[in-house]
Structure formats: structure tokens, C-alpha cells
Structure 1
Amino acid sequence: MQTPSPPGPRDGRRWKIAVMGAGAVGCYYGGMLARAGHEVVLIGRPEHVQAIEREGLRLETRAFDERVRLAASTEASAVQGAHLVLFCVKSTDTEAAGEQMKRSLAPDALLLSLQNGVDNADRLRAVVTQEVAAAVVYVATEMAGPGHVRHHGRGELVIEPSSTGAAVAQMLAGAGVPTEISDNVRGSLWAKLVLNCAYNALSAVSQLPYGRLVQGDGVEAVMHDVVAECLAVARADGVQVPGEVAVAVRRIAETMPAQYSSTAQDLARGKRTEIDHLNGLVVRRGEALGVPTPANRVLYTLVKLIEGKQASA
């Protein structure tokens, strides 16, 4: 006798969701979805998986601090049967993670790329046959310990249209994750890239949170130069960046004053960063398009020097 399959994503009930790359971002969104009653499996590092299996995921936010019970695995094959896969691995691991999980994906699964950078969805599409949609993530989180995610602020998503996009957005909103569907996700990804380029490397090099970082001598001028270069490259690349970027840059420090960039967190833990897909991407696109990017090049080079120093220590 066959076991009935779980409800599908179009019936308005319980979704089966896998989170590929259960770091701070993946754990936050996976935890919120599990808390809302969906069947979630987190796929991540052994120390986090073991802690979650023992005690559940500790989800610490400004509004609540709870232990959320959900499944966890170190194996990419745990994506099997999922209606939705939140793809949250580092940009440097996109192709490798796609290869690891592609044989276990359901044919009709939707893969939602919740990653930094502007080209991850395209790179993932080159590996898997399932539908892939890009998402822009605005959230401040950190892993405060094994199986413990701490949320500092925000949490909204902007996602690309897809065959199940409306249902996905409704489901996420029902779990406390504000979600907007946009026809200009490429522009929104570049808007997020500009913010990352302005803050990530400076926070990493200084090991300062955003609120203290922006008070440093000369920081405002450096950020202005970085942002101007990013926007010049985007224009040359035919990208329409939405919103008032200067206002958005200022708002980051105001809304996330205690947040360290993901690049800063990676360097503090001796891990490889995503700088190649942030300031490094702007430098490469600038070179290809004939747009000078000296401020981005300096920040990229400084982070790479620190990475190299740590790797050889």
C-alpha cells in the first residue's frame, strides 16, 4: 500500500520545503516557515544539524525567542519530495550545490535563489532542469551558535515571477515573511548588490557593525564613490536600478545598526567570502564595459589580502 503524498503547493495547506544551505539566511526563513506549520528540512553543516536534531532550531528575534522543531540533514538528497527549495548556499558554491542535489529534486519543484550577487539564478539554471526564480533578500541575521539563528531586523523578499510565484508569495506572507513579486528582479538584485558593495567589505576590513562603521572618518565619502561606480556599471550594462539608492544606503545603518556584514562574519570565522561576487563582480563588469571602478577595486583587493593571509596562516 502506497503512502499518500503530502499536500501539493496549490492546495493552500502544508508545503514541503527544503533549505539548501542552512546558514543564517536559510535558518531564518526555514525557521519562520516551520513555525507556521510547514514541513521543513534544513540542509547544512554537521554542527548545526546535530544541534537542531537535539534541541530544535533556536529562532531568536526581536519579537520572540523560540525553539522550532524541524528536520535537518547534512545530505543534499534531503531535498527529495520538496515542493519548494530555498537555495541559500554561498555564491561560490552555486554550481557544486546544484550538482549535489539535482538527482533528488522533484520534477515540479521550484528553486528560489536567496543568495547575494546578481547571477546565481542563471548559474543554477545551467545545472538543473527545474524552474529557478531569483529573489532579493533584505534581512539581517547571524548564526549565534550551533543551531541558533539571531534575527536583527527586516526580512522581506522580492521574487521573480514563476509558475507558482503567487502561491509562494502568499505562503511566505502567511509565515510572517513579507513578499513582493517584481518584473524587475534584475534591477532589484543590482540595488541589493550596491548596498552590499557599500557595506560588506568596509564592515569586514574594520570588523565593525553598520551603525559604528558609518561614523568613521571618510567612510561616507568612500561609500559615495563605491555606490557611484556600481550605478555607472549597472547603467552601462542596461540595468534599471529601482528606488532612491542613496536613501537606501543610509537606511541600512539606521535599520540594522548592530549588524555585521556577511563578509565580516566570514572573515571573523576564517571562511572564504563572497567578495568575488560583490565588489569583485562590479570590477569585472566595469572592465568589460569600460567603466572605471577604483574604489570597488581597493575594497575587493583588501578583502582578498585578508582571505589570503588567513588561508596561509
Structure 2
Amino acid sequence: MTLRDASIVVAGAGSIGCYAGGCLALAGRKVTLLVRPRIEEALLRGGLRVTDLEKRDRHLGQAAFAVETRAEAALDGADIVLVTTKSGATEEIGRQIAAHAPAHAIVVSLQNGVDNADRLASTVDGRRVLAGMVPFNVVQQEDEIPFRVHRASEGTVLIERGASGISSLLNVEGFATTTHADMRSVQWGKLLFNLNNALVALSDLPLATELSDRHWRLLLAAQIAEALTVMKAAGIKPGRVAGPPPALLPTILRLPDFLFLRLAKRMLAIDPQARSSMWEDLQRGRRTEIDELQGTILRLAVKSGVRAPLVERIAGLVRDAEERGQGSPKLSAGAI
């Protein structure tokens, strides 16, 4: 078997996973999507439509990929497993990989957070695990037929070096992929950007609208400043993901609107309707990744003896919204 013929399973295929799997299947890769029953039903009705910020609009009939809701059926024979589950499901999908995937399978974590690859490695019974990072936002339109996933921002997927040919296999149109020598620093850098997910979820605003408003940017800047202080105390240096170095982010975000809109065009290269996965989780009444994002900073703050009061407040507001189960609370920046 050549690597090009590898069987790729996307485990936990929601928005990111269906987008990744769709791009790979369009490029002729052998793809199985392990999905929830709700998504299976949508895919079996009309296939998958993959669109993006660059105006590509591509459709796959259901024959172009396999769909499974049972882990044992999806993972049997997998050569590569792309894990796109939410962080809360990491150990469970790891146990399923250990039980059902071949021993030679390579596992790639394409999840938010900084420790999912380590958590997978502790559960997949010796299989090789690579850390990865997806820098862009994907939204799903499940009410459309065919089921549509739309990449609403730009960026190149990064994966850990160490498995020859994997990045070339995954580097396809619409899903640019390359390797990186220091994924740990990249993941900490991505975490800084992901602190904004909670603000989008709490505000109910599209991402581009929220970032264009200095009131919201000041909240993001303050969160990032607290996180940088905590990371410095812990001896962690976050890596540059895209755009300016992490240390400059608070300064740039605090600029007046007219300057920010002029200088941060790449940051604002986002589909007007894009929101965050945390917003989507609140709308669907699901557990969010607040413990893996703001929660990571708060746990590190306790260990380092540093306070992060705004990060703590925002985490509390998201947890309150989770408990109410009524979607986004639609707060104003002033209320936060």
C-alpha cells in the first residue's frame, strides 16, 4: 500500500472534521467520517457541500466517502485517524482507537487546547500520536441540502514532524497542511486567539462584527494580557501562529477602530456570518470547551501564583450559560 492509498478516518466529524474529510475526499483520498447520527442523516440525504472563503464551492455525492456512527466499524482498517472531537471526548475516542484501530494506525489530533495529543497518547495503547493545529474557523449549515460546511477564515494546518509523508497526504486543495518543529509553542499561541471564542459565544455576535468593535477587543486584549502574564510566570513562550507576535496582540487589539481596521486586515479576513464553535455548543445545549481554553489559563495561574480575574469571570459566565441551556446570553461588552 502506498501512503496515497491510506485509509483516513475522521473521528468526531463535526464542522472541522467534515470540512477536512470533504477536502481530502475531493482530492481522491479514501475517507471515512465517524459522525453523530444527526450528521449521518444529513449526509445520507444529499452528500456534502464544501465551500470556503476563496469562493470554492464543491459537492461530493455520498459515494465519494464513507459515513459511520459506530466507532468499531469506522476504525477497523484505519491507517490514519484524524481526531476532531471536542476536548471533552478525547479520552473516550482514544479508548475507541485502542480497541478498534490497527496497531500501525497514526493518530493526529486536530483539536483545540494544548494537551489533547498527550491525552490521546495515554489512551491509544502505543499508537503514534501527532499534535496538530487548525487555525481557521468552519461553520456548518445543517439545514441545507446537501449538508454544507464552510471555511470562514484562512490559514495553514500545522502538524508535528515525525511521520514521513503525512503532511503531503493531508495537504490538499482547501486544506493546506505543513509540518512544524515546535507544536507545543504553536498550541499555546493558538490558545491566546481561542480566548475570543467565549466572547463570541456570550455576545451572539458574528466574529467579524465582534472584532470590529473596540469594546469587545479591549476584553480580548485584557484576557490575552492576563494569559501572557500567567504563561511567563510558568516559563511558557507562546509561538506565533499568524499575524503579529503574541506579545504585541494586546497593543494591536487596543487600537482605535479606524487604526485597527486598517492594520489588521488579515485578522478580519473572515466570513461575515462566522461565529465560534463555543457559540455553536451553547446554541445546541452542549458542553463547551471552556475548561480546555480559559480553564487551562486558570489552572496554570493557580500553579504559578498569578491571578487572571477577567479570564475567571468570562469562564464563569460561559459555565452559567451552559447550565441554563438557553443558548447565548447575548451579553454586551459592558455587562461582561
Q: TM-score, normalised by structure 2?
A: 0.84
Whole-Å Cα distance in 1 between the matches of residues 307 and 215 of structure 2?
21
SS in 1 for 2:181: coil
What's the counterpart of residue 225 of structure 1?
222
SS in 1 for 2:10: strand
| Equivalent position amino acid for 2:69 in 1 | T
Whole-Å Cα distance in 2 between the matches of residues 190 and 40 of structure 1?
30
Q: Indicate if the aligned counterparts of 2:210 and 2:217 stay in contact, CA closer than 8 A.
A: no
Whole-Å Cα distance in 2 between the matches of residues 97 and 308 of structure 1?
25
Change (3 A) 1:117 1:267: same
Change (3 A) 1:271 1:17: same
Change (3 A) 1:208 1:154: same
What's the counterpart of residue 44 of structure 1?
35
What's the counterpart of residue 133 of structure 2?
136
Deviates more, 1:276-285 or 1:178-187: 178-187
| Equivalent position amino acid for 1:20 in 2 | A
User: Does the alignment pair 1:102 with 2:117?
Assistant: no
**Mapping for residues 79-118 of structure 1, pairs under 5 Å:** 79-118=75-114
Whole-Å Cα distance in 2 between the matches of residues 294 and 114 of structure 1?
29
Aligned partner (choices 101, 118, 122) of residue 122 of structure 1: 118
User: Does the alignment pair 1:289 with 2:304?
Assistant: yes
**Mapping for residues 184-199 of structure 1, pairs under 5 Å:** 184-197=182-195, 199=196
Aligned partner (choices 65, 70, 75) of residue 70 of structure 1: 65
Identity over aligned residues, as a percent? 33
Deviation at 1:175, TM superposition (A): 4.3
SS in 2 for 1:118: coil
What's the counterpart of residue 4 of structure 1?
none
Gaps of 5+ in 1: 1-6
Q: Indicate if the aligned counterparts of 1:135 and 1:160 stay in contact, CA closer than 8 A.
A: yes
Whole-Å Cα distance in 2 between the matches of residues 310 and 174 of structure 1?
38
What's the counterpart of residue 299 of structure 1?
314
**Mapping for residues 20-39 of structure 1, pairs under 5 Å:** 20-39=11-30
What's the counterpart of residue 275 of structure 2?
260
Whole-Å Cα distance in 2 between the matches of residues 15 and 252 of structure 1?
35
Q: C-alpha offsets along residues 4-63 of structure 1, whole Å, 9 cap, x if unaligned?
A: xxx242xxx322100000100000111000000011000011121123234222222321
Q: Indicate if the aligned counterparts of 2:227 and 2:297 stay in contact, CA closer than 8 A.
A: yes
Whole-Å Cα distance in 2 between the matches of residues 118 and 112 of structure 1?
14
SS in 1 for 2:300: helix
SS in 1 for 2:5: coil
Whole-Å Cα distance in 2 between the matches of residues 102 and 252 of structure 1?
41
SS in 2 for 1:28: helix
Change (3 A) 1:251 1:87: farther
What's the counterpart of residue 204 of structure 1?
201
Whole-Å Cα distance in 1 between the matches of residues 217 and 155 of structure 2?
26
Whole-Å Cα distance in 1 between the matches of residues 36 and 278 of structure 2?
18
Whole-Å Cα distance in 1 between the matches of residues 284 and 45 of structure 2?
24
SS in 2 for 1:302: helix
Whole-Å Cα distance in 1 between the matches of residues 280 and 100 of structure 2?
31
Q: Indicate if the aligned counterparts of 1:161 and 1:182 stay in contact, CA closer than 8 A.
A: yes
| Equivalent position amino acid for 2:237 in 1 | Q
Deviation at 1:265, TM superposition (A): 1.1
Deviation at 1:224, TM superposition (A): 1.4
Q: Indicate if the aligned counterparts of 1:153 and 1:255 stay in contact, CA closer than 8 A.
A: yes
SS in 2 for 1:135: strand
Q: Indicate if the aligned counterparts of 1:14 and 1:37 stay in contact, CA closer than 8 A.
A: no
Whole-Å Cα distance in 2 between the matches of residues 264 and 253 of structure 1?
19
Change (3 A) 1:31 1:191: same
Q: Indicate if the aligned counterparts of 1:186 and 1:239 stay in contact, CA closer than 8 A.
A: no
